[in-house]
Structure 1
Amino acid sequence: MIRILLSTCVALLVGCSSTKKDSDSVLFAGEIVNPTSDQVILLKGGSKIDSAKLDDKNRFKFKLSSIENGLYHFNIAPEHQYVYLEKGDSLMVRLNTIYFDESLVFSGSNEETNNFLLDLFLATEIEDSDMYSEYYKLEPKEFLAKINALKQEKVNKLNELNTENLISNQAIKLLTGSIDYTYNRYKEIYPFRHKRRTAEENFHDLPKDFYKYRSSINYDDHTLTYLRPYYDFMKAHLGNLSYMTCMDNCGDLHENNSKQLHYKKHKLHLIDSLVVEKELRDNLFRNVAFDYLLKKNDAPENTEIFIKEFKKVSKNNMHLEEIENLYQGIVNLQPTNMIPNLSVLNFENEPKTLTEIASDKKVLFYFWSGTNRKQYLNIFKRIDILKEKKPDHELIGINIKTDYDQWKNILTTLGVDPSLQYHSNDFKELTEKLVLYPINKAIITDNAVIVDGFSNIYKN
């Protein structure tokens, strides 16, 4: 039934479902059921290629005169997914945002490549869970056997498609890379997860050929730079190398300093020495910076050292402004500083600043998004508990990444007091200025002066 509907949609939107490619132009079109945004954005890497408005039937259409063959992303906020495009393509996608990835189906030219890439993505989500619950506790040889069997299943399916000559050589390289780097990432993670799952005191001895694939790693593959399995592998691989190298060579040299600062500096220099491709380098450097700045609330003097080291090894990083803004946000959230004077909207759509809201009282600010029902229901339950534990504090909720009307409907439906709730339209500014990680973060103030800029509602 889905294929019949898709064929009908392709006939209406594309004109035909033929995979014949007579020109360099590309038509990428689709239908969005239960849209969460009124437009679809097409990107290649970090660059926006084009945007398309949904029509009155929730359909969109991109007509591109010429493109570079390769991997793209399409966004229907707040979700996104891959799409592989080649010159001459006429490709259709249909999805329901309530079951975004699971409902997504491609039809038309290059449908085989895109549906296979999506199947790999969905399989990985399931296998990631199985890895942690079952496979990481296996002995190394048993683990390798399981990994190799899972990988071979995907290789066999790809070989079947390839025998029908439906996939280009460039697409075969992309899909092969997706398979290889997915299962090699599990091997990079294995020693750490195995030690944790088995509670062993030391890292387990590994077979000599456990990492034999490392001799063929390509640190300079532009075509794979934005492929998630490739990028995730690089993060795990470089983390493994930096940790093990330090463990073998550094001894107690780091004991007088921050361990996190020490390890992150190792990782920065490892990226600098190994990774060639510019965008991959920039993205990996950004990952290290965000991991350090957001997840580890280190001493201010250590954070300053890290930023200087980051700028030294990652010159002209395309994310530098974003990272500097994040760093400045951390500096501004230190105790005794005034809370950033950002503007938010109340239930009557009136602007209020955080300084106004927090003046003349003790406040605990918390944050929630309407895109994750389970998350915000748990947060509101926690807030009910904190009302008893912190009767001298006003508990103020700030909503992010949610349509204004949807936010109001959620509050009304749940019976949440709207006088203690505010909405932000500028997620980027709020994230940078208030360093919103994790989503369970809380900021505690007294008369608008910061007491704790990095608290957590589940630890109060």
Structure 2
Amino acid sequence: MKLYFTFIIILLTIMGCKKDSDEATINFAYLGGEIINPNTNYIVLSKNEAIIDTVKLDGRNRFLYKIDDLNEGLYTFRHGGDFQLILLEPEDSLLFRLNTLDFDESLVYSGNGDKKNNYFINEYLENEQEEKYIVQLCQLDGFTFQKRVDSLRTSKLKALENFTNKYDPSPLFLKIAKANIDYSYFSSKEVYPFVHYGKNKAAILKSLNEDFYDYRKAIDYNDAFLSNHHNYNKFLRYNLSNLSLKTHDKHDHNACYDRNSLCYNLDRLKLIDSLITNPTVKDELLYHFAMGFLSKSKNEESNNTLLKSFLSKSESEKSKALMVRYTHSINRLKAGVKLPEINLISYNEDDEDELKISTLIDSPTVLSFWSHAYYEHFKESHYKLKELKAKYPEVKFIVINIDNYGLEKSKRLLEGHGFNNTNEFKFKNPEEALELFAIYPMTKTILVDKNKKIINSNTNIFSAHFEEQLLGLINR
């Protein structure tokens, strides 16, 4: 395998170095790689949400693809439910290797263009760890917090300077790398009032130094270049949530902040609509916050009010259609109604190939879901379910895989981690089931009584109140 990749790297390097004297510029790049434990037999390459091509893996789960007429910048490659950004510039011949069981952590680049992309993936992983540290820092007073995050930013800028001196990267790389550092820093400051202890978030905002948010004066809320960039979008989510507190506080009269209140969420959608004109940026934010509210709400009137607000502001017909269907599904899953019927496939060879979910429910039941795309959730949820099964033997725990993959792949993953197949199933028609049960987010859990009636359509096995809810289900 090493010889194979060494040969490819040399070949691509030679090809990339050849100059055609008749051409003013050479405008192409190669992308190749190997995927271990693939979820599908292809990757999807896109730029700015527009799909460029679906690239098939060969018999050894490898691929090599040439991009002609390259539009240099950030590209996205997707495999299964995971994705990652890469920077491609003319004459790059970039190869990667990853394991889907540890997607980001296992990702390594080689070939022309490897240094800049390894820099970005390492920075991405470091930022994931840093987010946990930021949560701790947010408990400090505003002045001390600012000093700590300023120090983190200075350290990152120094590391970028060292990288620049060593490798002399392109202006495009430097633009993206600087944006990564800036927007990560800005996000840390925007999240401060939400994570800081104390329920009155508006009061926390008022206590901060006047210069705490000085950087906001230079923010471009319609940056087309960064419209699909993780750090930029994360910042906008925090920033707009933060700014909405001021509007919300005016008619909430300093009451405790509730991120799930209809009033606050309507204020936030209205602010997005007033500040942002770039359709890509605007629609992503509207969709994110609308889904976040609906996924936690059980009030049909509130759901319909928020949906109406979303539909009046979104310019994406696809997003509108999805939101309408999701809202209708949420509203149908009321406490006291019968669980919708759906067909499942069993891993147990003694069972029928296909069975209706209603035939499984004859006692208090918990429905939980998982996907290959959320590997950490798959592991942690199964460990948690194992613990709950031991504590509550009178409850049936039905665990359903939502992926549109073959049965054997899910079965191998379960067996590989030592998880019992008992009461483990797959949806016969995942697309239909995702809509019918409104499965978002992946932590969603449904409680059903012995009469197949929904008791709670949207809880979470990791919630501090979940076992209390289970006892209520048992004692009905």
Same fold (TM over 0.5): yes
Shift of 1:309: 1.2
Tell me which residue corresponds to 2:390.
384
Tell me if 1:32 matches 2:35: yes
Which contiguous aligned blocks of 4+ residues in structure 1 show a shift greater than 6 angstroms?
4-7
Tell me which amino acid in the other structure corresponds to 1:400.
I
Tell me which amino acid in the other structure corresponds to 2:12.
V
Tell me which residue corresponds to 2:71.
68
CA contact (8 A) 1:365 1:396 kept: yes
Shift of 1:180: 0.4
CA distance change for structure 1 residues 282 and 355 in 2, over 3 Å: closer, same or farther?
same
CA distance change for structure 1 residues 196 and 18 in 2, over 3 Å: closer, same or farther?
farther
| Root mean square deviation of aligned Cα | 3.2
User: In structure 2, what is the Cα distance between the partners aligned to 1:91 and 1:118?
Assistant: 14
Matches within 5 A, 1:29-428: 29-133=32-136, 135-163=137-165, 166-196=168-198, 202-203=203-204, 205-247=207-249, 249-252=250-253, 260-294=261-295, 296-347=296-347, 348=349, 350-358=353-361, 363-369=365-371, 371=375, 372-388=378-394, 390=395, 394-401=396-403, 403-409=406-412, 414=418, 416=420, 418=422, 420-424=423-427, 426-428=429-431
Matches within 5 A, 1:7-18: 8=6, 10-11=8-9, 14=12, 16=14
Task: Return 5+ residue gaps in structure 1 as ranges.
Answer: none
Tell me which amino acid in the other structure corresponds to 1:382.
L
Shift of 1:303: 1.0
Q: Write the deviation string for residues 251-281 of structure 1: whole angstroms up to 9, x where unpaired.
A: 44999x9961100000001000111211110
User: In structure 1, what is the Cα distance between the partners aligned to 2:147 and 2:317?
Assistant: 40
CA distance change for structure 1 residues 374 and 20 in 2, over 3 Å: closer, same or farther?
farther
CA distance change for structure 1 residues 369 and 111 in 2, over 3 Å: closer, same or farther?
closer
Shift of 1:433: 1.8
CA contact (8 A) 1:45 1:72 kept: yes
CA distance change for structure 1 residues 63 and 142 in 2, over 3 Å: closer, same or farther?
same
Q: Write the deviation string for residues 126-154 of structure 1: whole angstroms up to 9, x where unpaired.
A: 11111113x11222222222212211222
Tell me which amino acid in the other structure corresponds to 1:380.
K
Tell me which residue corresponds to 1:450.
454
Tell me which amino acid in the other structure corresponds to 1:297.
S
* 3-state SS of paired residue (2:271): helix
Shift of 1:456: 4.0
* 3-state SS of paired residue (2:355): strand
Shift of 1:430: 2.8
Identity across matched positions, percent = 27
Tell me which residue corresponds to 1:441.
445
* 3-state SS of paired residue (2:321): helix
CA distance change for structure 1 residues 208 and 137 in 2, over 3 Å: closer, same or farther?
same
User: In structure 1, what is the Cα distance between the partners aligned to 2:48 and 2:360?
Assistant: 40
Name the count of aligned residue pairs.
447
Tell me which amino acid in the other structure corresponds to 2:118.
N
User: In structure 2, what is the Cα distance between the partners aligned to 1:440 and 1:374?
Assistant: 14
CA distance change for structure 1 residues 9 and 152 in 2, over 3 Å: closer, same or farther?
farther
CA contact (8 A) 1:14 1:29 kept: no
Tell me which amino acid in the other structure corresponds to 1:77.
G
Q: Write the deviation string for residues 100-138 of structure 1: whole angstroms up to 9, x where unpaired.
A: 3233222233323212221221110111111113x1122
User: In structure 1, what is the Cα distance between the partners aligned to 2:174 and 2:419?
Assistant: 53
Q: Write the deviation string for residues 375-412 of structure 1: whole angstroms up to 9, x where unpaired.
A: 21221321332323x4xxx4432223475214334566
Shift of 1:233: 0.2
User: In structure 1, what is the Cα distance between the partners aligned to 2:460 and 2:270?
Assistant: 32
CA distance change for structure 1 residues 237 and 428 in 2, over 3 Å: closer, same or farther?
farther
User: In structure 2, what is the Cα distance between the partners aligned to 1:320 and 1:48?
Assistant: 21
CA distance change for structure 1 residues 74 and 261 in 2, over 3 Å: closer, same or farther?
same
CA contact (8 A) 1:120 1:179 kept: no
Tell me which amino acid in the other structure corresponds to 2:261.
Q
Shift of 1:203: 1.4
CA contact (8 A) 1:112 1:167 kept: no
Q: Write the deviation string for residues 303-332 of structure 1: whole angstroms up to 9, x where unpaired.
A: 111111111122445412221221111012
* 3-state SS of paired residue (2:387): helix
CA distance change for structure 1 residues 417 and 162 in 2, over 3 Å: closer, same or farther?
closer
What's the TM-score once normalised by structure 2's chain length?
A: 0.84
Tell me if 1:431 matches 2:437: no
Tell me which amino acid in the other structure corresponds to 1:326.
Y
CA distance change for structure 1 residues 403 and 382 in 2, over 3 Å: closer, same or farther?
farther
* 3-state SS of paired residue (1:81): strand
Shift of 1:55: 2.1
Shift of 1:195: 2.7
* 3-state SS of paired residue (1:137): coil
Tell me which amino acid in the other structure corresponds to 1:8.
T
Task: Return 5+ residue gaps in structure 2 as ranges.
Answer: 20-24, 471-476
Q: Write the deviation string for residues 418-460 of structure 1: whole angstroms up to 9, x where unpaired.
A: 3x33212654443322122352512315544434322444341
Tell me which residue corresponds to 2:474.
none
User: In structure 2, what is the Cα distance between the partners aligned to 1:123 and 1:212?
Assistant: 26
